[in-house]
Amino acid sequence: MAIEISGLTKIFARVNGDGREVFRDFSLTLGAGKVAALLGPSGCGKSTLLRLIAGIEKLSAGSVVVPAKRIGMAFQEPRLLPWRSVADNLRLAAPGLSDAALDASLAAFELDGRGGDFPGQLSLGLARRVALARAFAVEPDLLLLDEPFASLDLALHRRLRALLAQRIAARGMTVLIATHDLDDALLLADEVIFLGGAPAQVKQRLELDMPREQRDENLTKLRTLAPFYPSSEGEGGGKSGSS
């Protein structure tokens, strides 16, 4: 198993003394080498779950077992160090990176020639690509992506999603992507995990066995597998739920 969560409880303390219980006795396992998408309404706990798996958020109770030696993570905001160049942002995450590997990491996300730029000089789309290149540069066994395409225009969203699909296919690793976007999940994942409720629970797990390269042309059909979850590009569009 790449991720084994059992009996997880997570409570955020509030100033007025009571707590926000995001997870209660929550369990989930994910097999090694799988690409899973975590889908659910805003505020249901997707980012919190990724942070708990990455070990940057403390559990209130239960256990999260992650055998991965190297974890790559891209946050909702690109979170680059503003006073470091693009190349140095990658080198800080992956200190052993050779110049050739650095160039290849940048090229994989169409960032050729951008190594000397500083984050302040980048558009959001470029900054997201750098954050993704950085997450891949560590050669992770486990890649955690939190809304990797949030706030991008549709054309860029699609291009970046296609780039990500290529990179995932090129490297065998376990990937967990948190998203609100059904199409991202249907195009990228081997399995879609629908979360909902408060505290959050797994509402449904949907296995996708269609080869990834055939999914674009079959997207309308794939959307029918999750009729209860509106697609952002299909009819009924937009995010579901609220926080």
Ligand X SMILES: Nc1ncnc2c1ncn2[C@@H]1O[C@H](COP(=O)(O)OP(=O)(O)OP(=O)(O)O)[C@@H](O)[C@H]1O
Q: Where along the sequence are the contacts to ligand X (CB under 6 A)?
A: 12, 20, 22, 40, 42-48, 180, 243
d(CA 191, CA 205): 7
d(CA 83, CA 126): 16
Nearer of residues 106 and 127 to ligand X, judged by Cβ = 127
As a whole number of Å, the end-to-end CA separation of the chain is 31
- Nearest distance in Å: CB 74, ligand X: 14
Q: How far is the CB of 184 from ligand X (least distance, A)?
A: 12
Among residues 98 and 242, whose Cβ is nearest to ligand X?
A: 242
> Of the two residues 14 and 69, which places its CB atom closer to ligand X in the complex?
14
Of 221 and 239, the one with the shorter C-beta distance to ligand X is 239
Measured CA to CA, the distance from residue 117 to residue 70 in angstroms comes to 27
Angle, CA 230 vertex, CA 229 and CA 232 arms, to 5°: 135
Q: The tokens of 103 are what?
A: 């160039």
CB of 47 to ligand X, least distance (A): 3
Rounded to the nearest angstrom, the gap between the alpha carbon of residue 69 and the centroid of all alpha carbons in its chain is 18
Give the start-end residues of each E strand in the chain: 3-13, 19-30, 35-39, 61-65, 71-74, 142-146, 174-179, 191-196, 201-207
41 preceded by a cis bond (ω within 30 of 0): no
We find the least distance from the C-beta atom of residue 178 to ligand X, in angstroms, to be 6
Q: Measured from the CB atom, is 97 or 200 closer to ligand X? A: 200
Q: How far is the CB of 214 from ligand X (least distance, A)?
A: 29
Nearest distance, CB of residue 3 and ligand X, angstroms: 16
**Smaller CB separation from ligand X, 166 or 232:** 232
Calculate the alpha carbon distances from 141 to 40, 103, 132, 190 in Å: 25, 21, 15, 16
Helix 86-93 and helix 124-137, axial crossing angle in degrees, nearest 10: 30
